[in-house]
Amino acid sequence: MSIQQRESVKNSVEANHINEYQDFEARLEHALADEQMHAALERFAPSWRTSRKSVFDLEENEYGPDYSFEHMRSLLRQAKRGREPLYL
């Protein structure tokens, strides 16, 4: 590993170490104001949706409707509400 790479890793660790002690609201505001983060999310979101759909379609085709995105989302919502998920 080059000196430059080690410095980059060191700076990243120090930045993350500092951030973990910041209030969530402060970290959120910082992230929302970060133009690089905004641009990266704009590039990431469309490809993530496509990838997610492909994976769930494959799982549903191989294992049945219990593995569909809609069903899994329903189970997650039930769990978040503190209800026992209904498994088929």
Query: What is the model's pTM?
Result: 0.50
Express each pLDDT in 17-76 by its tens digit. Answer: 556 677 888 888 888 899 999 899 899 988 998 999 999 999 999 999 999 999 999 999
Give a yes or no: residue 38 inside a domain.
no
Domain count, the chain: 2
Structure tokens at 57: 């379609």
Whether residues 79 and 51 share a domain: the answer is yes
User: Structure tokens of 13?
Assistant: 């660790």
Phi, psi (deg, nearest 5) at residue 11:
-65, -40
Question: For residue 28, how far is the Cα from the chain centroid?
Answer: 15
Same domain, 29 and 49: no
Q: Is 77 inside a domain boundary?
A: yes
52, 69 contact by CB (below 8 A)? yes
Q: Which residue range is the domain that position 83 belongs to? A: 45-88
